Amino acid sequence: MNRSRLFLIAVACAAVGATAGVAQAADSDTFGLSTFDQQIVPDGAPGFNTLGIGPGDGYRIREGADGGPALGAAEQGRAKRRTELAYFGQLTDFQLADEESPARVEFLDPLGGNFTGSWRPSEALNPQEEDKMIRQFNYFATNQPHRSGDGSRTKMDFVMNTGDVSDNNQYNETLWNRQLIEGKKVDPGSGVNPDSYLGNSTLCPAGLEVEDADNPAAYTGVQDRNDWPAPTMGYFYDPDQPDPTPVPPNPGFVNPFSGFPSYPNLMDRAQKPFTPVGLKVPGYVLFGNHDGLVQGNAWGNTAFDELAQGCLKPINDDEANSGRPTAPLYTFVLDPNITAQAMRDLWNTDPDYFLGVPPDPDRHLLSKQAYKKVFLKGSDPDGHGFGFVNDSENSASNGSAGYYSFVPQRGIRYITLDTHSEGGKVLISDEGNLDTPQFHWFERQLQRSEDKNQIAIVFSHHAVASLDADVPDENAPACDSVDSATTPGCDADPRDSQPIILEDDVTGLMHKYPNAIAWVAGHSHVNDVQAYADPAGGTGFWSIRTAAVADWPKQNRLIEIFDNRDGNISLFGTVIDQAAPAGAPAPGSDAGNFNTGKLAALSRTLGYNDNQKGARACSPVPCGEGTVEDRNVELLVKDPRRPEAYVSSVKIKPKRKSMRAGRTVKLRVHVTNYGTTAARKVKLKVSSSNKRVTVPKKVKIRKIAANTTATITVKARARGGARGKARIVARVGKRKGVDNFRIR
C-alpha cells in the first residue's frame, strides 16, 4: 500500500490554511514566507550559480512508509475537526565556528572523504546567517502555518536547538550562540594582543611572527593569502583574490574556487560586532557532538586546550600546492596523548606547517559542566533548558547530566537527550549513543508520560539511525585528579556508562512506549523523515531530521501537532529558509560596508556552490535537501492516549456591564470538555467578591459529552442597598471564568 501522496498546493491552501504571503521587509524577499510559499533555487548556469525565487513546495501527506504498515490514517474532514496540541520550532546545526582558532583542522579538508566538513567557504558568515534564521522564527512565532478547526492559531511554544550550536567545543563559540538567542551584542571575531603571551606559553613561542598582531580584530586565517607562508595558497577561498597566479608557477595547482566571485574586505567585515534580533520565544539547547568534543570527534585533552588559546595555528594547503604532506598534522588529530611540546617541536622542525595568529583565552575548551553553565548564566529563567535537569541525575552524574524533560502544557512531555559519544574516539564518536544511566532515565520518562496519559516528543542531536558509536564514556580519561567542572575532556560521571546503548535497543524502547510519537533530531545535515513502524504490531513513531544552517540548504523546520479528533494525530513539518535576500550582492562589491542581511545572503550562495558540501556535490538529490517526502509534510499517527475527560475552559458570556440593586440576573456559564470521553458529575463552584451579591456556591453538571460545551444558567441577586462592583468567578478545578460588573 502506498502510504504517502502529494498534497498539491491548491488543495493545501484551501484545506490546511497554509502560510499566507505577507508584505515583505524592505531588505528581503524571503522574510515571512516558508518553503510552501516559495523555494530558493539556482539560476542553472554552468559554474558558479546565483540564487533566486522559485515555486513553493507542497505538503506531502504520509501515513507510513511506502509499502509498509500505516502509523495513522488521514481521515476526511480532519481539517475542520483538529485542535492544537503543540507548536514549536527546530533550529539545528549552526556549527558556529571561530574560524580563526588554532584548534580548527582546515588542513584536513583537502583530503576529502570523512574530512569534507573541516572547512566551509561560508563559515565566517554563520553568525549573521543564524541571526536571520532567528528573525524568520520570530515571524512564524505569531504566524502559525496551520489553523485549528475553529480557525484559531496559537503562538509558538518554544524553539529547540537540536545540537552543534558550536563547532569546536570552545567557550567563545558557545557564548556567541547564547547571545544570538538572547539578542545580546555578538563579537564574532577572536584574538587579542599577543605581546604578553609571546615567550610565556609553549604555543606562543618567542620569535614567532604573529600576523595582524597590531590589529587582532582583523581576520587572520586560511582565507587570507597574505597570511600564508610560501608558496601561494590555492585550495581555500580568498574573497579578496579567488583565482591567484601561483608563485612559483605550478601546472598542478589546485583551486576549487577559481570561478567564485571576489568580495574585497569580506573576511574583515565578518569579524565585526553586531546586535542580533534575539528569539521572541523561549530557546532551548542540548548537546551535539561538536558541543562536547573537539571538532565533534575527540575528547578535549590539555594540548588541544592550549592549542585553541595559543598562537600556533596548524595549516596546510593541498599537497599539490604546498609540497608538504598532511600526515604530520593528521597525527596530532589521531593521538589523544599529544602534547603541546610535540606541536612546538614540529614548528621548530618545519615552521611552514603553522600560521602565527593572535591568541585568545576565550577560546578555551569547555567541560560539560562549564558548557551548561554558559546557558544557565543567561537571561532565560530555565537556563535555556539546562534548568530542567533533574536534581538527582545532576548529583549522580557529578554535574555532567545534559539530558532533561519538561511539560510546558497539559498532555505533552518533551524529552531531551544527550546523544554525543563522550568517549571521544576520532572518526567514530562523531556518531551518537546513550550510556546506560541515561537510557534508564529515558525509560522512566517514557513510563511517566504513559502513566500521565501524555504524548512524548523526543529531541536529540543524533537521530535513531545515527546511534552507532560503540565507544564507552570511559574511553576518555577519568576526572579523579582534576577539577571536573573546569577540565575539558575528562569523564566526570562516576557511573559506569556500559553497556553503551545503540540504535536497535533505542528503537525497541520507543516501540515499547507508543505514546512516544516522534523523534526530532539534526546531525546529518539533511531533511529526512522516516516512519518507524512497530514490527510487533503496535503503532510506531516518526523520525524527523532537519538540515543544517552550516550547509546547504541552510534550512530549519516548524513543527505543529494537532489532535484530529478521529483517533489520529497530525504532525505538520514546514521547512523555512533564513530571512536574508535570496540573491547575493553583486560580484566584486566591496564587502566592507555590507549589512548582516547581505552577509547572510552571501553565506547561503557560497554554501550552495561549495564543491564538497554544496548542492551539486550530491546526485541526483541535491545535498541536504531531501526528497519532497522529507520537507513539507503532514505525518499521521494513531492517538496513543487513553480516552479521558478534560475541562479545558470555563467562560461567562456575554459579559454584563451592570446590574440593579434588588434585581436578579441570569449568567450563562459555558464549560467545555476537550477530552475524548464524557465528563460526568462536574462540580462548578461560583463565588462573588461582593457580599451583597449572592450566587449559588455549587452547581453540579451531570454530564458533558466529549468535545462539547455545556451551558449552565446561574442566578446572581444583588440585595437591596448593594453598591460598588462585583466580581463573579465560576470555577471547575483550575479553570475559571470571570465577569466583573457595576451595581447601580
The predicted-structure confidence for 620-671, as pLDDT tens digits, reads as follows: 999 999 999 999 999 999 999 999 998 989 999 988 889 999 999 999 999 9
Instruction: Evaluate whether 699 touches 686 at the Cβ level (below 8 Å).
Output: yes
Both 390 and 533 in one domain: the answer is yes
- Judge if 373 and 511 occupy the same domain: yes
- Using 50, 70 and 90 to split pLDDT, how confident is the model at 676? confident
- 614 and 657 assigned to the same domain: no
Residue 714 resides in a domain? yes
251 contacts 265 by C-beta, under 8 angstroms: no
State the DSSP code for 225. G
Could you write out the three-class secondary structure of 564-614? CCCCEEEEEEEEEECCCCCCCCCCCCCHHHCCHHHHHHHHHHHHHHCCCCC
Q: How confident is the model at residue 281 (pLDDT cuts 50, 70, 90)?
A: very high
Strand partners, 204: 201
Look at the chain and report how many structural domains it folds into.
2
Residues 430 and 535 in one domain: yes
Task: Say what the pLDDT of residue 231 is.
Answer: 86
Has residue 692 been placed in a domain? yes
How far apart CA 692 and CA 721 sit, in angstroms, is 8
- How much is the pLDDT for 229? 85
- Is the pLDDT at 690 greater than 90? The verdict is yes
- pLDDT at 13 (0 to 100): 38
- pLDDT 10s digits, 168-221: 999 999 999 999 999 999 999 999 999 999 999 999 999 999 999 999 999 999
| Whether residue 614 is found in the same domain as residue 663 | no
Shared domain for 597 and 677, answered yes or no, is no
The range of the structural domain enclosing residue 507 comes to 98-133+162-186+363-556+583-622
253-275 burial string, b = 16+ CB within 10 Å, else e? bbbbbeebbbbebbbbbbbbeee
Residue 724 maps to which CATH number? 2.60.40.10
In a domain, 397, yes or no: yes
**Could you tell me if 404 and 532 lie in one domain?**
yes
3-class SS of residue 122: coil
The string of DSSP codes covering 414-453 is EEE---B-TT--TTTTTSB-B-HHHHHHHHHHHHHHHHTT
Distance CA 433, CA 541 (A): 19
Span 471-521, pLDDT tens digits: 999 999 999 989 999 999 999 999 999 999 999 999 999 999 999 999 999
Of the listed ranges 6-10, 28-32, 73-77, 78-82, the least confidently predicted one is 6-10
Residues 562/82, Cβ–Cβ less than 8 Å: yes
Res 27: pLDDT: 61
In a domain, 723, yes or no: yes
Calculate the alpha carbon distances from 741 to 189, 322, 669, 720 in Å. Answer: 60, 84, 15, 16
Q: For residue 235, is it within any domain?
A: no
Residue 31's CB is within 10 A of a number of other CB atoms, namely 22
pLDDT in tens, 40-60: 999 988 899 999 999 999 999
Residues 594 and 475 in one domain: yes
Residues 603 and 739 grouped into a single domain: no
Pair (599, 651) in one structural domain: no
Given this model, what pLDDT does residue 44 score?
87
Q: Residue 302's pLDDT band (boundaries 50, 70, 90)?
A: very high
What is the reported pLDDT for 9? 36
pLDDT bin (cut points 50, 70, 90) of residue 17 is: very low
Q: What is the average pLDDT value for the chain, to the nearest integer?
A: 94
Cβ proximity of 446 and 515 under 8 Å: yes
DSSP state of 535: T
pTM, 2 dp: 0.92
pLDDT of residue 28: 81
Residue with cell 523546520: 557
Does 356 map to a domain?
no
Q: Both 589 and 680 in a single domain? A: no
265: Cα separation from own chain's centroid: 31
Cα dihedral angle (581, 583, 585, 586), rounded to 10 degrees? -160
What amino acid is encoded at 471 in this protein?
A: V
Q: If DSSP codes are grouped into helix, strand and coil, which group holds residue 616? A: helix
* 600 in a structural domain: yes
Cell numbers for 329, please give them: 598534522
Domain co-membership, 489 together with 452: yes
Would 536 be classed as within a structural domain?
Answer: yes
What CATH number is associated with residue 611? 3.30.750.180
Torsion of Cα atoms, 333 then 337 then 343 then 344, to 10°: 170
